[in-house]
Structure 1
Amino acid sequence: MTPLDQLQVFKAMHDSPHARLEHSAHLGDGLAAALWNNRHDARDYEAPSHHTLSCYIADGTGTFRRDRPGHTGAPDKLCIMPAGSASHWVVNGSIRLAHLYISQEQFALGCVSLLDREPRELQLQEATFLDDPEQARRFRQLIALDWDEPAERLLTSSLAHEILDHALLSQVGLRQGLRLKGGLAAHQRRQLSEYVEGHLDQPLSLGELAALCNLSEYHFARMFRESFGLPPHQYLLARRLAKARQLLRYGQLPLGEVALLCGFASASHFSNRFRQALGATPGAYRTALKS
């Protein structure tokens, strides 16, 4: 994921002379978290390139959006700030809040795998001071963990995925007035998704996937990215890692078998890819989630 100081919402908070960063961490898989204190401030978020989910942990009763001064926050209220959406905030008094930053690539993966829709068809719906006790509970669990301790950071990552999945199922809607151009047909996208899921344990080439759609590799790669929101190799790696996380969390297979079932050439290759994505080895991930 982009370094934290390059995420627009994080940077806008960090640049404030009034806001104080308590803690922050990359959680892998295009997710990052931060815990803030702020007081007597005004913050502007100008069309960020990432999504931000926030939960008010304490205070916030004097916080409002400039265009909605009569609507103020409170503990456990949630705000959803989609990528590309500008918002302007005033903080009267104090506030403590948690942020979860989500890359557009991770959002795209969720749209395809969880909702079976093209990411460009969908949008995360903006919400201000939303009541969602289940999400608020997850945020409170998330900030109670020690993000500097490797095992607890992995638990934090798991919670962040639960928060994202909940948001995808409850706060995503169709883009209005959208006329899609290019990309793959819906049946081609579903065929590819099913084929990839059914062959994760096998080497898959760009040519093999392109042949399923009767396209050249060049045109297939371009159209795949339009429909899936990320390139074929990145999608394939993400699905392999997702399957690996599931096998590690709910099974007892040796790591070498998990590697082969997920299409990695060797246990060392699997370990390197897993660590690059999640910041920990497969063994450490299994231990953290089993403990």
Structure 2
Amino acid sequence: MANTAQMRITGDFMADYLPGEPLALTSRPRIDDVVIQLFSHRSINEPITVPAVVEPLLVLVLAGAARVEERVPGGEWEATEVSAGDFFLTQSDDPYEMRWQTHGGETFEVMHLYLGLPLIERASRELSGQASAPLRLRDVSGARDSHITFVLQQLRSELIEQRTPSALFAQSLAQALAVHLLRSYPAETQAGRRVNALQAYKLRKVTEAMTAHLDDEFSLAKLATLAELSEYHFSRLFKRATGLAPSQYFIRLRMARARQLLLESQRSVIDIGLEVGYSSASHFSQVFRREVGVTPSEFRGT
């Protein structure tokens, strides 16, 4: 095996450097500028060196929970507690080391998505309005983003569950994701450093509280108190961890729950709006259309 400290690889070859069992995606169409891999991991006590990858790498935890530790070679370990729904994002020019300990003897299932540079460049040109160097993404560890989770689950469903998966549909999802990442997670000016964001356990405590009270009025003060921070510092660190302001993240959680109920239940649009905190059907429809792109009824197909 080549010396990972002196090379950068493409996503197609990452499976050669990672332990665990890659889950085969048999008879799937090839998608231009997109590489998707599924892995099932057990605990890794000895550090592994992850080579720098040419493309931005997005990793979504699909199942299980683990304590994941990362460091630059020879540096201090940075630990993050993660479970299903958490994601990692990296566009590092240098290799780094990882190890992880799964909880309860469970396997730790993840999905890797590599977005090709042409895809990133197209999204970057559209956002910047000029042919400049592509925008870079920052490193994020153990954060949550309902939009990322939704798109990656859609990609997984299309490629695994559909009998005749559509490369065009998968490509459009990947393009939309590239735009979201560039908007929400642009690199800080200090390259190569992990972002000083809200600690993972505090982020989890806050997002779980949000999810449990989607029908309540949003309160920045309550969330900041839960995180034991001032409102200013909580808002700043929360946005660094998730790419969204707390209020916007709360709306995204509401819309994710509304989408689920619209697809999986026969409840009325009014009832679903009430469950996610909107006493006015017109207000719910307005917010849903702004966030999702269609009205609740159109999303349901009725």
In the superposition, the TM-score normalised over structure 1's length comes to 0.51
Deviation, structure 1 residue 136: 0.9
1:123-170 alpha-carbon deviations (Å, 9 max, x no partner) = 211111121112112211221223585443432222222221210111
Which residue is equivalent to 2:37? 34
CA distance in 1, matches of 2:182, 2:157: 24
Question: How far apart, CA to CA, are the structure 1 residues paired with 2:99 and 2:60?
Answer: 16
Counterpart of 2:181 in structure 1 is: 167
Segments ≥4 residues shifted beyond 6 Å = none
Amino acid in the other structure paired with 1:21: L
Aligned residue pairs: how many? 173
1:105 paired residue number: 118
**1:31–1:100 CA contact under 8 A, matched in 2:** yes
Contact kept in structure 2, 1:80 and 1:127, CA below 8 Å? yes
CA distances 1:25-78 after superposition (whole Å, capped 9, x unpaired):
665341221121111235422222121111111114232324444322221111
Q: Deviations over 1:225-252 (max 9, x none)?
A: xxxxxxxxxxxxxxxxxxxxxxxxxxxx
**Partner of 2:88 in structure 1?**
79
- 1:18 equivalenced with 2:23 (yes/no): no
Identity %, equivalent residues: 15
Distance 1:151 1:13 in 2: 23
Q: What is the alpha-carbon distance in structure 1 between the residues aligned to residue 112 and residue 189 of structure 2?
A: 25
Greater mean deviation of Cα atoms: 38-47 or 131-140:
38-47
Structure 2 counterpart SS, 1:146 = helix
Alpha-carbon distance between aligned partners in 1 of 2:113 and 2:14, rounded to the nearest angstrom: 15
Cα shift readout 1:163-185 (whole Å, capped 9, x = no counterpart): 212101111246459xxxxxxxx
| 2:108 partner SS | strand
Q: Distance in 2 between matches of 1:144 and 1:135?
A: 14
> What SS does structure 2 have at the residue aligned with 1:32?
strand
Residue 83 and residue 65 in structure 1: after superposition, are their counterparts in 2 closer, same or farther (change >3 A)?
Answer: closer
Structure 1 match to 2:128: 115
1:271-290 matched pairs, under 5 angstroms: none
- State the partner residue of 1:59: 64
Q: CA RMSD in A?
A: 3.1
When residues 132 and 27 of structure 1 are mapped into structure 2, their CA distance, relative to the original with a 3 A threshold, is: farther
Residue type of the partner of 1:129? Answer: G
Structure 1 segment 196-235 matched on structure 2, within 5 A: none
| Higher helix residue share | 1
